[in-house]
Amino acid sequence: MSLRAYEQLVQRLHRLSALGESAALLQWDQETYMPRGGTEARVLQLSTLSALAHETFTAPETGRLLAQAEKEEGDEKHRALLREVRFSFDRATKVSTDLVERMSRATSRALPIWTEARAKSDFQAFRPILEEIVDLKRQYAAAIDPGAAPYEVLFRDYEPWIGLAETRRNLAELREGLKPLIRRAASAPKAPDAFAGRWPADKQQQFSLAVLRELGYDFDRGRLDVSAHPFSTGNVYDTRITTRYNEEDPLGALLGTIHEFGHSLYTQGLPREDFGTPLGDARDMAVHESQSRLWENHVGRSRAFWERWLAPMQEAFPGNLKGVTPEDAWRAANVVQPSLVRVEADELTYHMHIALRFEVEEAIVSGAAQVREIPRLWNDRMESYLGVRPPNDKLGCLQDIHWAHGSFGYFPTYSLGSMLSAQLFAAFEKEQGPAAPAIREGRYAPLRDWLRERVHRHGKRYRTGELVERATGKPLSPADFLGYANAKFGALWA
């Protein structure tokens, strides 16, 4: 009996998925354990895998199977899969394998260059490869849709089903809503210096592992390692997270690990029966980021969390946190203060960092500004949005890995993720009552289960807007985030 086109297409997708997962593991290794000298070979490996994936996906046979499957009878899940494949296929077939390979090679080469340039705070060392990447991304956008604004085309790589115009509106509303709060922060009562002292990296790691265990991270399908830039990667069977330890600040690694936990929980909760197809994949970046931020901010920065974890932390780090109360720790974990580094920013000023990147990268991609102008554009905006000016590019425009990865159009999804995390958390509490009592007792199952039910298990079955409405009963907007922020910081600063 011959397989239907749909089943044959799914087999082809499994192969593509395996190629993508292999590349993801090679990238994980590059950022965790690969010896320095390995870059040259790794670059060729990754560009070969992307080229093969691209060739396999854009082969005429894929188009034939896809067109035939679109004509076959199928249920709603089938139609959803075909919708996702059609979207990617129509884009991918417009891009040459040569360009894909060149993008992969450039971004693989860029990683160690960025790492070294950042260490030396030397933007000039990074500039040539960044110019090359920007040029390649513009070629890529022009190949996909020569009539559209290149930035809009790139944005759809991360958010195929959220419009850029809608995003722009939401981000503007968020920014304007946050401004008065950020102004108020300047005159807020000073939080206690609860986290002073030295925090040995090995003990931080032990503590992070203990928190991960209680949150419900499945270590049979995951692990925690160290990398320069924390990330999470993998698939439903093997989802890894990384963090980095600063011995003068335990919050960075702790909240960073909780953040990556949120990503991983999403991945670990994807439907196994759809593994290897878009239906088994996460619903893009904003939804992914809503999961990480929900755990980082709505759990990890909540008062209830510190009521649960302060005592174990005092025990794990003898000598530190002396006389500190849960209330103190909570206040110290929620200091709002303009600062230079996005990943260390508080929940409010964070979105000014995103606004800056959104504007700078759109200007660069559109050609309105040049790569060489980045440090100036960056520093000027930091000053105007947050009143601080980076003393060097390490603390300025070299801090993020994204552009070295070729990720332009990715940053806005962080703010979208925050909005959605607040919207999901509000919906959860509206249905099940306040989350605090369970968090205080270390019971995270109700929240985990609700997220699995409403978000994780659906993969890409619904378009982003549908998924949000099904989960929360309304379209994505910054309203719940602004409500949450006003309530929380109102209480904190009372």
Residues 123 and 392: their CA atoms lie apart, in Å, by 9
List 177, 222, 326, 412, residue binding its own copies (CB under 8 A)? 222
Among 2, 37, 445, 494, binds its own copies (CB under 8 A): 37
Per CB under 8 A, 96 contacts its own copies: no
Q: Which residue of 48, 88, 96, 139 would you call a contact of its own copies, by CB under 8 A?
A: 48
**How many whole angstroms separate alpha carbon 90 and alpha carbon 92?**
6
Look up 166 and say whether it is catalytic.
Answer: no
Instruction: Give the shortest CB-236-to-its own copies separation in angstroms.
Output: 8
CB–CB of 456/281 below 8 Å?
no
Using the rule CB under 8 A, which residue among 7, 61, 90, 218 binds its own copies? 218
Instruction: Kindly tell me the burial class for residue 134, based on how many C-beta atoms sit within 10 Å of its own C-beta (0-12, 13-18, 19 or more).
Output: buried
- How many residues in the shown chain lie near its own copies by CB under 8 A? 41
Relative orientation angle of helices 284-293 and 464-472, to the nearest 10 degrees:
30
276 near its own copies, rule: CB under 8 A: yes
Task: State how far the Cα of 317 lies from the Cα of 203, in Å rounded to an integer.
Answer: 7
Classified as helix, coil or strand, 395 is coil
In the complex, the smallest distance separating the C-beta of residue 116 from its own copies, rounded to whole angstroms, is 14
Instruction: Using CB under 8 A, pick the residue from 83, 94, 127, 221 that binds its own copies.
Output: 221
Measured in whole angstroms, how far is the alpha carbon of residue 330 from the centre of its chain?
Answer: 24
Q: Which is nearer to its own copies, 240 or 353 (CB)?
A: 240
Q: Using the rule CB under 8 A, is 220 a contact of its own copies?
A: yes
Catalytic residue among 31, 260, 361, 362: 260
What is the closest distance, in whole angstroms, from the C-beta atom of residue 51 to its own copies in the complex? Answer: 8
Q: How many C-alpha atoms does 339 have within 13 Å on its Cβ side? A: 14
Exactly one of 77, 78, 120, 223 binds its own copies (CB under 8 A); which one?
223
| 33 is an interface residue for its own copies by CB under 8 A | yes
Q: Does 246 bind its own copies (CB under 8 A)?
A: no
Measure the CA–CA gap between 412 and 409, rounded to whole angstroms: 7
Question: Using the rule CB under 8 A, is 3 a contact of its own copies?
Answer: no
Least CB distance to its own copies at residue 98 (A): 12
| Contact predicate 413/159, CB 8 Å | yes
Closest CA to 423 of 359, 377, 468: 468
Structural tokens at position 12: 């082809």
Nearer to its own copies, 56 or 339 (CB): 56
Instruction: Determine which residue in the list 4, 8, 25, 335 makes contact with its own copies, applying CB under 8 A.
Output: 25
The reply on whether position 440 binds its own copies by CB under 8 A is no
Nearest-angstrom CA–CA distance, 491 and 435: 17
Integer Cα distance of 283 and 162 in angstroms: 11
Edge-first strand order for the sheet with 238-243 is 222-226, 238-243, 232-235
Provide the minimum distance between the beta carbon of 221 and its own copies in the complex, in angstroms, as a whole number.
4
With beta carbons less than 8 A apart as the criterion, state whether 261 and 293 touch: no
Closest to its own copies by CB, 37 or 319: 37
Active site (catalytic) residues: 260
- Which positions touch its own copies (CB under 8 A)? 14-15, 18-19, 21-22, 25-26, 29, 33-42, 44-45, 47-49, 51-52, 56, 218-223, 225, 235-238, 240, 275-276
